């Protein structure tokens, strides 16, 4: 059995970004929770002798919350260029090595050969392997692909299901939903969120269509639904869409940037550039999140809808984007919330996204280059000193 399952763990001499900077501290882990945070060097910590404690000195390395990836194709995405282009399910270490300790899975274009039942089973599989995992119900198209017959009952009765997503608008691959269909779905997820205390949002896939955010803007303008219910993603995929999404922030929406692989963001913005612009414009940064689209297909189509080329999303782009923004001169405490506390806020994950007493022990250790050397998920080491401690069942 893993040491972290049988004893307390004391992380000594860590430079905490919680995500706000707390300075050099010691952190006590008990089971899967953060039990205490102490000032480093302020006297001996009193722990009963009969309690086994493993002490690890990190010599001032950075300690952050684990990343929360709200948009990942955990069963694999793709398929836009034939069945052979379906991406396989994403393995555990694809997430943990990238610093992801909580993931939210979804279906995309292919909600025909892939099912919500399969998605939910993969959530349970990742949980068995030690990751915190949840999912959206539905997919690109209306009517939604659900398990119980409606999104509302999926959210109410299936614990891992937190909302609807990724529901496609302004995209030739969407079902071309009407305004009435969009607001009906938004109402379902909102009410289900009120009943359960879950996120209760509809996570919108945004394509390159000229209508961009019109359906969301109209829904906020013409209905009583709270703006937070409408959560658009991929908003940095083209520049006009990014400009419109920035305006949505003033309405109370949270927007989600995609950490596209380097060199694939055209005709949009790299996530690091979009974040830099948001800081320069003094936008409400607490309403901006960053996700990977891990396992998803990143296709490029011509105006006739013909596939020109494709890439695939990877969770590792989250850390790469973080480093890229820091290289632009932004501070860690400015960008880190977009991967941690901001995501936990919109998704209503009450015990995640921060380093605080009583929160889940989902933690990352970074070196001076902001490379992730150690990953702890729910109090268990998945990566230590750049070595894999836990692999997925078929890895």
Question: CATH number, domain at 296?
Answer: 3.20.20.140
Residue 394 located in a structural domain: no
User: Are residues 48 and 12 part of one domain?
Assistant: yes
**119 and 47 within one domain:** no
The answer as to whether 170 is a domain residue is yes
Considering the domain architecture, whether residues 323 and 375 belong to the same structural domain is answered as: no
Residue 25: CATH number of its domain: 2.30.40.10
| Annotated binding residue 293 | yes
Give the C-alpha separation, 37 to 15, whole Å.
Answer: 12
* Exposure class string for 49-58: b at 16+ Cβ within 10 A, else e: eeeeeeeeeb
Contact partners, residue 281, CB within 8 Å, separation at least 6: 246
* Beta pairing, strands 297-301 & 307-312: antiparallel
Please report the sign of the dihedral spanned by the C-alpha atoms of residue 295, residue 160, residue 130, residue 100. positive
Indicate whether 340 and 360 sit together in one domain. Answer: no
- Residue 82: what pLDDT? 79
Question: Are 78 and 126 contained in the same domain?
Answer: yes
In this structure, is residue 393 part of a structural domain? Answer: no
Residue 134's closest CA among 182, 184, 199, 89?
Answer: 199
Q: Tell me if 97 is assigned to a ligand binding site.
A: no
Same domain, 337 and 357: no
190 is in an annotated binding site: no
- 71 plus 184 within the same structural domain: yes
Q: Does any domain span residue 395? A: no
**What does DSSP say about strands 8-17 and 21-30: parallel, antiparallel, or unpaired?**
antiparallel
Does residue 44 sit in the same domain as residue 70? no
Does residue 318 share a domain with residue 188? yes
Nearest by Cα to 355 from 88, 5, 28: 28
- Number of domains making up the chain: 2
Asked whether residue 286 falls in the same domain as residue 160, the answer is yes
User: Would 134 be classed as within a structural domain?
Assistant: yes
* 254 appears as a binding residue in the annotation: no
- The tens-digit pLDDT sequence of the chain (395 residues) is 344 445 799 999 999 999 999 999 999 999 999 999 999 876 556 677 778 899 999 999 999 999 999 999 999 987 667 787 778 899 999 999 999 999 999 999 999 999 999 999 999 999 999 999 999 999 999 999 999 999 999 999 999 999 999 999 999 999 999 999 999 999 999 999 999 999 999 999 999 999 999 999 999 999 999 999 999 999 999 999 999 999 999 999 999 999 999 888 889 999 999 999 999 999 999 999 999 999 987 666 567 666 666 667 899 999 999 999 999 999 999 999 999 999 999 999 999 999 999 999 999 999 999 999 999 999 999 999 999 999 999 99
Range of the domain at 91: 66-347
Q: Is residue 21 part of a domain?
A: yes
Query: Distance (Å, rounded) from C-alpha 334 to C-alpha 288?
Result: 11
192 lies in some domain: yes
Using left for φ > 0, alpha for ψ between -120 and 50, and beta otherwise, residue 358 falls in left
Is 172 among the annotated ligand-binding positions? no
Per-residue confidence (pLDDT) for residue 41, from 0 to 100: 74
Instruction: Verify that 261 and 173 share a domain, yes or no.
Output: yes
What gap in Å lies between CA 376 and CA 358, rounded to an integer? Answer: 16
Catalytic positions, written as ranges: 293
For residue 320, say whether it is annotated as part of any ligand binding site.
no
pLDDT of residue 79: 66
Please report whether residue 12 resides in a domain: yes
Q: Give yes or no: residues 24 and 95 share one domain.
A: no
């Amino acid at each position: 059995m893993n040491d972290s399952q049988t004893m307390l763990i004391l992380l000594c001499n860590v430079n905490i970004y919680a995500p706000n900077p707390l300075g050099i501290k010691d952190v006590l882990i008990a089971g899967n929770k953060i039990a205490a945070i102490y000032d480093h060097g302020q006297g001996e910590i009193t722990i009963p002798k009969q309690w086994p404690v493993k002490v690890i000195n990190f010599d001032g390395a950075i300690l952050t919350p684990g990343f929360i990836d709200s948009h990942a194709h955990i069963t694999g995405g793709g398929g836009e260029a034939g069945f052979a282009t379906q991406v396989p399910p994403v393995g555990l270490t694809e997430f943990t090595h990238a610093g992801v300790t909580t993931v939210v899975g979804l279906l995309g274009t292919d909600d025909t050969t892939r099912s919500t039942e399969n998605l939910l089973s993969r959530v349970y599989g990742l949980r068995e392997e030690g990751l915190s995992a949840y999912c959206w119900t539905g997919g690109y198209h209306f009517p939604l692909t659900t398990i119980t017959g409606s999104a509302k009952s999926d959210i109410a009765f299936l614990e891992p299901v937190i909302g609807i997503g990724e529901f496609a608008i302004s995209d030739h691959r969407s079902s071309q939903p009407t305004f009435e269909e969009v607001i009906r779905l938004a109402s379902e997820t909102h009410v289900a969120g009120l009943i359960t205390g879950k996120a209760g949002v509809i996570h919108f896939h945004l394509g390159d269509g000229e209508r961009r955010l019109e359906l969301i803007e109209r829904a906020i303008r013409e209905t009583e639904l709270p703006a937070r219910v409408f959560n658009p993603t991929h908003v940095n995929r083209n520049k006009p869409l990014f400009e419109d999404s920035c305006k949505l922030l003033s309405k109370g929406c949270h927007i989600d940037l995609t950490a596209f692989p380097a060199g694939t963001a055209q005709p949009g913005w790299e996530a690091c550039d979009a974040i830099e612009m948001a800081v320069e414009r003094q936008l409400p940064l607490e309403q901006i999140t960053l996700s990977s689209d891990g396992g998803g297909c990143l296709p490029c189509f011509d105006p006739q809808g013909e596939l020109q080329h494709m890439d695939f999303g990877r969770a590792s782009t989250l850390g790469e984007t973080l480093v890229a923004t820091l290289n632009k001169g932004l501070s860690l405490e400015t960008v880190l919330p977009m991967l941690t506390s901001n995501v936990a806020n919109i998704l209503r994950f009450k015990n995640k996204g921060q380093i605080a007493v009583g929160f889940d022990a989902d933690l990352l250790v970074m070196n001076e280059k902001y490379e992730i050397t150690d990953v702890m998920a729910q109090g268990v080491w998945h990566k230590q000193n750049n070595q894999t401690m836990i692999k997925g069942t078929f890895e």
